[in-house]
Structure 1
Amino acid sequence: MHEADESRSPALAELRGRLEEARARARLNQTELAGKAGLGRATVGKILASGGGVPSAKTVAYLARALKLPVGELLELRRTAVEEADGHPSTCRGRGVRSRNGSRTSWKSTLLVRAPSRPGSEPYPDT
């Protein structure tokens, strides 16, 4: 999750508000919503509580579908909240990685290495 302060992220506050309002309208508690969305109770609690970070796009989509909300609109709010949390527009897809100095850099999937899980074993044994 991206860290964000709701006082500086109106999009995150609106995202949380819309999810909470829809949850109340559906008369679901957080545990019931978590079950309906296929998420953990703690995950839903962190998302709906103020002071938490920006939820992943996948999590927002699961919650939007469970609450019958427009997925695209909520994902746009999430994207804006990420930009507000990072202080700049999001220019790359994926999560990226942090360099040693803490700055965010992008990564290319072609650079990932398939490594064995233990010395002497095949990376992905045939099954």
Structure 2
Amino acid sequence: MSVMIKKTAPKNDGLIKEAKKNPGGYVSDIDWQYPENQEIPREAIRGSWKVDLDGKLTDHYYLNNNYRKIEEVEKILPKYMIEAARHFKNIWVAEISSDAEDLYPEIPEEKIIGWWYVDINGNITKKFRRNSRCD
């Protein structure tokens, strides 16, 4: 269950636009600028602002229990990940547990260790976000 706190909404044009599109709903506070074609993992959402019926952000902010901040991690990654990353650019790729490698492409959520950011040159960076179901 998420906790509601009082938090002043930032004067961010993108959030204000989203709020106008979602009267009575919520607008998420995301910690990374994901490409439009990429799904945003629940671990990237810090929380959400409640939007009033007029499409304006309120000061009701709901913390996301699944949020995991991006870490800088030094790790030797499995060879399959390094090879696969060469085919991707500016995207997050999943690291899966070794006992799930033969399940690809139907990997259960709890077998995903976390996600590594692949930069615009196809290199896996040190940026890592843990899976909230695998802590």
| Higher RCO (CA < 8 A, seq sep 6+) | 1
**TM superposition score normalised by structure 2:** 0.27
**TM superposition score normalised by structure 1:** 0.28
Structure with the bigger percentage of helix? 1
Structure with the bigger percentage of strand? 2
